[in-house]
Structure 1
Amino acid sequence: MQYFPVFLDLTDKHCLVVGAGSVGRRKIRALLERNPAEVLVIDTRPPGEEFKKVLRSPLMTYEVREFCEDDLDGKWLVIASTNNEELNWEISNLCKERGILCNIVDQPEKCSFIVPAVFRQGDLTLAVSTGGASPALAKRIRQGLDEYFGSHYGGFLALMSRLRPLVLELGHPTENNSALFRDLVHSGLLEAFEEGDREKSVTILKDVLPSELHDAIPELLNECL
């Protein structure tokens, strides 16, 4: 299966998770980190002690009962992680009828999307997928990314995030700004971050950035390096 890779903005979106076992709990935590409007959790079992901290989130509602079709009303995204094959198919089909994004854990044939193995380092997010053929291999590849993408990537991206609006406020032509950002990426600044070399970072930034931004360099590096 060939999937179209995409990142979803869950801000202010209403989500549903049916089944709060060990896998379901991981999905719930991941959803809550993305600032949804609400995550409604349905499970016939009361939450265990290990889940009580998550229950304190104002973004989550946990209901101990059976799933019903009305639970889909107003939902933007649904994840089902039950061990009930019939229920999983029911949820999948209902979501398809309503045009709701639906993931049935470990059953790609029932999904309108699958969740990749994800590696995060600050604002850097890398998603690894095997098209549902081997989630275990995707996780192994994700683990290997730790050896290549160190914490300096997060610091570098934090700098770029703070620097971008400052550059745009100068009002220079778009092509000039694009060239500047390309120059930063290829300037050796990332390597300076990896080495923790502040002096080298200052030198590179002064070489690449317009003089109007030189006074901002110390503060920018204080936040990122």
Structure 2
Amino acid sequence: MRYYPIFVNLENKGCLVVGAGEVGKRKIQSLIDSGAGTVTIIDTRPADPEMASLLAQDHVSFQCREFRDTDLDGKFLVIACTSSEEVNWRISTLCAERAILCNIVDQPEKCSFIVPATVKRGDLTVAISTAGRSPAMAKRIRKELQESFGDEYAGLLTLMGRIRPLVLGLGMTTPENTAVLRSLVNSDLLARIKARDLDAASEILKESLPQPLHANIPELLDGLV
């Protein structure tokens, strides 16, 4: 099966995780890290003490009981990590009937979406999918990418995020904006940030940015490394 790659905005969205074992805890953390509006957790076992910091957050709740059909009410996304085939199929079927995004961990045939292996560097996320054919290969590729993409990529992305609205605010034409932003990305800024050489980074910005933005360079680089 071919999957359509997509990044989902979970802000103000209700999410449900059924099963809070080791895998479930990782899924819960990933939902929280992704800004989920609410995260409801259901497990037949009492909450693991290791989850205390997660459950202390106002938008996270835990219920020690069996899954109920009504648990899906108002949910945007559901993840099931249970050891019960019956419960997993039930959740999968109900989500399909209600058009709710559903992931059954390690069982792609029951999913409406699968979760890719990812490499994260600040706001940069690189996702890897093998269409469910080989999670082991996805993990291998992720390891290789982790070695290729260092923290300097997060720094450059932070810098570009600061620069872009300033450039767009100058009122130049779209081709002019594109030329400036592309020149920065294709410059030696990444290497200078990796080397923690802000003086050299400053010189690159002076060469690439329009004159009206030169006064902004110190604040653009502030706290970058």
For normalisation by structure 2, the TM-score amounts to: 0.97
2:102 maps to what in 1? 102
Aligned length: 225
Question: Within 5 A, what are the aligned runs for 1:67-82?
Answer: 67-82=67-82
CA distance in 2, matches of 1:163, 1:36: 28
CA distance in 2, matches of 1:54, 1:32: 8
Unaligned stretches of 5+ residues in structure 1? none
Report how far residue 60 of structure 1 moved: 0.6
2:32 maps to what in 1? 32
2:57 maps to what in 1? 57
- Pair 1:92 & 2:87 matched: no
Question: Within 5 A, what are the aligned runs for 1:167-182?
Answer: 167-182=167-182
State the SS of the aligned residue for 2:40. strand
State the SS of the aligned residue for 1:74. coil
- Pair 1:151 & 2:173 matched: no
Report how far residue 223 of structure 1 moved: 2.7
Aligned AA for 1:181? Answer: L
1:199 maps to what in 2? 199
State the SS of the aligned residue for 2:88. helix
Deviating above 4 A after TM superposition, structure 1's stretches of 4 or more consecutive aligned residues are none
State the SS of the aligned residue for 1:220. helix
Aligned AA for 2:183? Answer: D
Report how far residue 155 of structure 1 moved: 0.5
CA distance in 2, matches of 1:37, 1:150: 30
Report how far residue 33 of structure 1 moved: 1.1
Unaligned stretches of 5+ residues in structure 2? none
Report how far residue 144 of structure 1 moved: 1.6
State the SS of the aligned residue for 1:63. strand
Report how far residue 152 of structure 1 moved: 0.7
Aligned AA for 1:92? Answer: S
CA distance in 2, matches of 1:165, 1:205: 15
2:18 maps to what in 1? 18
Identical columns (%) = 55
State the SS of the aligned residue for 1:20. coil
Aligned AA for 1:163? Answer: I
State the SS of the aligned residue for 1:9. coil
Which stretch has the larger CA shift, 51-60 or 12-21? 51-60
Report how far residue 18 of structure 1 moved: 0.5
Which stretch has the larger CA shift, 95-104 or 196-205? 196-205
Question: Within 5 A, what are the aligned runs for 1:161-172?
Answer: 161-172=161-172
2:183 maps to what in 1? 183
CA distance in 2, matches of 1:147, 1:64: 40
1:112 maps to what in 2? 112
1:140 maps to what in 2? 140
For normalisation by structure 1, the TM-score amounts to: 0.97
Report how far residue 157 of structure 1 moved: 0.3
Which whole-Å deviations, capped at 9, do the CAs of 1:29-57 have from their partners, x for residues lacking one? 10011222211111111111111121111
Report how far residue 221 of structure 1 moved: 0.8
